[in-house]
Amino acid sequence: MKEIITTDRLTLRRPEMADAAAIASLVGDLDVSRWLTRAPHPYGLSDAYEFISAVQNGNGNTFVVCVGRQVVGCIGTEGQLGYWLGKNHWGRGYASEACRAMVARHFSRSTEDLISGHFTENRPSRHVLEKLGFVRTSQEQARCPATGDCHVLQKMVLTHSAWEAQI
């Protein structure tokens, strides 16, 4: 199935092997990977191919975020809501727009709570989640593979009823 989600400015679609160079370039920027709990640094083309292959063999809840045809990030609900954007695309509201679309997709298919989280130093990510109605639940230590540093990971949850109350 070739699911495509469109918003006012974005297209969310399944990643393809042809996206590997763009993904490697974007995640390869330490300013991006330092906020992620799964991406190593350096992040190369082979990492991107491995990621895409895993996504293609997964449950179909991960999408690349595109402006026009240009890949600018990635978003998914593989166990929890996770997302990243290339540094040149920060501050434009793309994360909020993509997250809103993915949350809507999740709750159109399930009434299960949606979890997410952010490193406490990542205020822009916290802001995106709070705008969607996520609330803080707990904190834990998490290692960033890109830097090797441990950070406080703020866990958050969005309930189906809280989502329904705001739409």
Q: Where are the domains of the chain?
A: 4-166
SS3 of residue 110 by DSSP: coil
For each of the chain's 167 residues, which pLDDT tens digit applies?
579 999 999 999 999 999 999 999 999 999 999 999 999 999 999 999 999 999 999 878 999 999 999 999 999 998 899 999 999 999 999 999 999 999 999 999 999 999 999 999 999 999 999 999 999 999 999 999 999 999 999 999 999 999 999 87
Helices 123-132 and 94-109: angle between axes, nearest 10 degrees: 40
| DSSP-assigned beta bridge partners for residue 143 | 150
Which fold is adopted by the domain 4-166?
A: Aminopeptidase (3.40.630)
Q: Quote the CA–CA distance of 103 and 95 in Å, as a whole number.
A: 12
Which tokens hold the place of 109?
């298919």
With 0.85 as the threshold, say if the pTM is over it.
yes
| DSSP β-ladder status, 11-13 and 4-6 | antiparallel
161: enclosing H helix or E strand:
helix 160-166
| DSSP-assigned beta bridge partners for residue 152 | 141
